[in-house]
Amino acid sequence: MDTATLSADTSLPVSQLRGVGPKIEQKLARLGIHTVQDVLFHLPYRYQDRTRIHPMGSLRPGQEAVIQGEILLAQVHRGRRRSLLVRIADGSGQLTLRLFHFSRQQQQGFVRGKTIRCFGEVRSGPGGLEMTHPRYHIAPAEQMPPLDDHLTPLYPSTDGLQQALWLRLSEQALALLARRPELAPDWLPTPWLAEHNLPPLHQALKLLHRPGPEQNPLSLLDGSHPAQQRLALEELLAHRLSLRRFRQQARRQPAWPVAPPGALADRLRQQLPFELTTAQQRVIEEIRRDLARDIPMLRLVQGDVGSGKTVVAALAALHVVEAGGQVALMTPTELLAEQHHTTLQRWLQPLGVRLGVLTGRLKGSPRRQALAALAEGELDIAVGTHALFQQQVAFARLTLVIIDEQHRFGVHQRLALRQKGAHRGRLPHQLVMTATPIPRTLAMTAYADLDVSVIDRLPAGRQPVTTVVLPERRRDEVVERVRQAALAGRQVYWVCPLIEESELLDAQAAENTAVALAQALPELRVDLVHGRMKSAEKEAVMARFLAGEIDLLVATTVIEVGVDVPRASLMIIENAERLGLSQLHQLRGRVGRGREQSTCVLLYRAGLSTTSRQRLAIMRETNDGFKIAQRDLELRGPGELLGTRQTGLLNLKVADLGRDQHLLSLAEELAELLFARYPDNIAPLIRRWLPQGLRYGEV
């Protein structure tokens, strides 16, 4: 079909391109490619330079290059594996072509004295430099085809889609775009792009699909080329706009304004055995102002491990209870729910607040009674796990939803609890808490729909944990240190992190370690907790540890989010070099919750990589979770910080949040401009980059 006859439309189906039949169309769909515009935005992941001939004498192992020379000889080598060796030279040096799969006709084509041009990867071989199965062409020098006039793109692909097909499809798509610009409209304002020295969309796409030989391959490889930066900016902008739009939609539905005198909150402050920090007071005031409005609060409270988020949540809950509303506090584990319930009971029951707990463990008559009390408004605060949003749970007047350790919950779970409070056209306020500090640059993108509060000071009396980094060969000294600490009345964690991507192997490693430590320390009470245990078993072990019935708890990283055990003041983390900074910081936060000086020992194995050395050094240097999170973002990217449930940012196609942080402020500026002057450009921009709609942030 003549592409000139095709209608110009961003939804032009990819099946309209030559060579795309039903089978190819299905395979393209698996990569999310349905339209010609999708082809244009399916960008190469690297490039090959076939634009010039390299002298053989200049070649180095690992280099991809075009070479041209004279065939010297061709012979079959019968070693462990039969192969055809072809020796060629160009005056500057020699090289061997090695073919394992060849026909007699192929062999006969390598005639001494003929000219050959090859492209392939140079490797070291037994007799010098080699190319294995290169692309080659044999012809008189004057009849050789012209060299490419652009770098050769290599595209991300799947089974059955060869690079030759991608070249044909992208060639057709670019030709169509040249004649029909409407296929990929540029939704960014031209004056703004010019002001920031960024190319227009069509120019950027053409350059990235067919970069000329003058383009810097290194800048294309590392993503710093202006054309890639222009697309990365647009992608970050689309994510930001989608969250801003969601925020606008969420705030179109009213909430119940909560503005009581604050008598209950004042009484709690007077009863607390500690003073609130200025950071806690600032965040509480931000929450109080949000609650007083008739639009739903959507606020994220970030606080490092031990910063006092629970008391902030309690004071927010008291404002709602005093105004006659109900509060739901959702946690990721039953044990954490029980701990929050116990803490809140100690603080709030003397004030006349009625609390209940709802977890999967609650069965039979007690469960029915709790459900009835919630539905009839006889409970002011319900603390629980995902059981809070099950279908049979009903609230009389749910006004505030508090979500602890939000990254452990999926979008649908949080939305379900939000809908529980929908009453007479009004939605509940939402307070989302995390002990995983998130750098501002990442929060700007991941949580653009939320107001963000930061508790950036630890309460008085909290001593920072001392971190020691030791090699594995000093393990016996560490075991003796554990003995002395336990005999002195302190409790100890011994963490065996994930060694393989297998819960089974992980559990076996922990079990073996527990047996070995029990034999080495017979006078101590040693127990074990790991991810393959049933939830009730894990909770029972943690409850016994909390009660002081276990001296040494061997655990996998399941304790990363866990209960406060004030007597636990020593933590050993084996193979610490295998964990990311944020995870190490979360694990370290399990100790240091009492008045005693606490220590975290990071054991590492020999042969550390540069990145591993950096991580361990950072852990030794600082206890500041925000500094650690920033370095973790730089070293490992956003996935580890946001949690696997926050999937949206893991699907960035062009942008890289570690590399492109400098673009976030530009994306923010550009979002303001589009909302103010180009509102019609917003929806198509979001559709281009987020065709499946918003996948995260809907809290």
Q: What is the pLDDT of residue 620?
A: 92
The mean per-residue pLDDT over the stretch 6-13 comes to 64
Q: What is the pLDDT of residue 644?
A: 39
The DSSP code for 590 is T
Q: What is the pLDDT of residue 445?
A: 63
Confidence of residue 646 (pLDDT cuts 50, 70, 90): very low
Pull the structure tokens for residue 264.
Answer: 């209950």
Q: Which of 149-158, 212-221, 390-399 has the lowest mean pLDDT?
A: 212-221
Q: Quote the pTM value.
A: 0.69
Q: Tens digits of per-residue pLDDT, 171-211?
A: 999 999 999 998 999 999 999 999 999 999 999 999 999 99
* Cβ-contact 565, 491 below 8 angstroms: yes
Alpha carbon dihedral 552, 557, 563, 566, in 10-degree steps, equals 40
Q: What is the pLDDT of residue 504?
A: 53
Q: How far is CA 126 from each of CA 85, 95, 130, 687, rounded to the nearest angstrom?
A: 12, 11, 9, 54
Q: Which residue has the higher pLDDT, 4 or 506?
A: 506
- Going by C-alpha positions, the residue among 460, 459, 465, 461 that lies closest to residue 310 is 459
**If you search the block for the tokens 């009903």, which residue do you land on?**
394
Q: Which of 202-206, 283-287, 349-353, 644-648 has the lowest mean pLDDT?
A: 644-648
Is domain 223-462+666-699 in CATH 1.10.10.10, yes or no?
no
Confidence of residue 153 (pLDDT cuts 50, 70, 90): very high
Q: What is the pLDDT of residue 90?
A: 96
Q: What is the pLDDT of residue 446?
A: 64
Which 3 state secondary structure label does DSSP give 699?
Answer: coil
Q: Is the pLDDT of residue 649 over 60?
A: no
Confidence of residue 69 (pLDDT cuts 50, 70, 90): very high
Confidence of residue 581 (pLDDT cuts 50, 70, 90): confident
Is domain 52-147 in CATH 3.40.50.300, yes or no?
no
Q: Is the pLDDT of residue 426 over 90?
A: no
Q: What is the pLDDT of residue 287?
A: 97
Q: What is the pLDDT of residue 449?
A: 66
Q: Tens digits of per-residue pLDDT, 450-469?
A: 788 888 877 766 778 999 99
Q: Which of 260-264, 282-286, 438-442, 669-673 has the lowest mean pLDDT?
A: 438-442
The mean per-residue pLDDT over the stretch 27-40 comes to 93
State in words which class domain 466-622 has: alpha beta
Q: Is the pLDDT of residue 561 over 80?
A: no
- Going by C-alpha positions, the residue among 569, 487, 483 that lies closest to residue 520 is 483
C-beta neighbour count of 441 within 10 angstroms: 19
Confidence of residue 594 (pLDDT cuts 50, 70, 90): confident
Q: Which residue has the higher pLDDT, 329 or 691?
A: 329
Q: b or e along 2-27 (b: 16 or more beta carbons within 10 Å of the residue's beta carbon)?
A: eeeebeeebebebebbeebeeebeeb
The mean per-residue pLDDT over the stretch 77-95 comes to 93
C-beta neighbour count of 1 within 10 angstroms: 8
Q: Tens digits of per-residue pLDDT, 377-422?
A: 999 999 998 888 788 888 999 999 999 876 555 545 556 666 777 7
Per CATH, 52-147 and 466-622 having the same topology is answered no
CB neighbours of 622 closer than 8 A, spacing ≥ 6?
A: 628
Confidence of residue 359 (pLDDT cuts 50, 70, 90): confident
φ/ψ (deg, to 5) at 576:
-60, -25
Q: Is the pLDDT of residue 276 over 70?
A: yes
Q: Which residue has the higher pLDDT, 627 or 297?
A: 297
CB neighbours of 379 closer than 8 A, spacing ≥ 6?
A: 326, 354, 355, 356, 370, 373
Confidence of residue 66 (pLDDT cuts 50, 70, 90): very high
The neighbouring-strand residues paired with 466 are 599
Q: What is the pLDDT of residue 643?
A: 46
Q: Which residue has the higher pLDDT, 193 or 623?
A: 193
Task: Name all contacts of 108-112 with Cβ < 8 Å and 24+ positions apart.
Answer: 109/138, 110/71, 110/74, 110/84, 110/86, 110/138, 111/71, 111/138, 112/71, 112/72, 112/73, 112/74
* Cβ-contact 657, 223 below 8 angstroms: no
CB neighbours of 528 closer than 8 A, spacing ≥ 6?
A: 510, 511, 514, 541, 553, 554, 555
Select the highest-mean-pLDDT range: 407-421, 544-558, 645-659.
544-558
Q: Which residue has the higher pLDDT, 441 or 465?
A: 465
Q: How far is CA 467 from each of CA 331, 551, 599, rounded to the nearest angstrom?
A: 29, 21, 6
Mean pLDDT of the chain: 86
Q: What is the pLDDT of residue 539?
A: 78
Q: What is the pLDDT of residue 595?
A: 75
Q: Is the pLDDT of residue 520 over 80?
A: yes
**If you search the block for the tokens 């530009």, which residue do you land on?**
666
DSSP code per residue over 554-570: EE-GGGSS----TTEEE
Q: What is the pLDDT of residue 124?
A: 94
Q: What is the pLDDT of residue 417?
A: 64
**Could you give the CA distance from residue 24 to residue 165 in angstroms, rounded to a whole number?**
10
Q: Tens digits of per-residue pLDDT, 244-260?
A: 887 777 778 899 999 99
Q: What is the pLDDT of residue 678?
A: 95
Where do the domains of the chain lie?
A: 3-47+153-222, 52-147, 223-462+666-699, 466-622
Q: How far is CA 43 from each of CA 211, 460, 609, rounded to the nearest angstrom?
A: 12, 53, 31
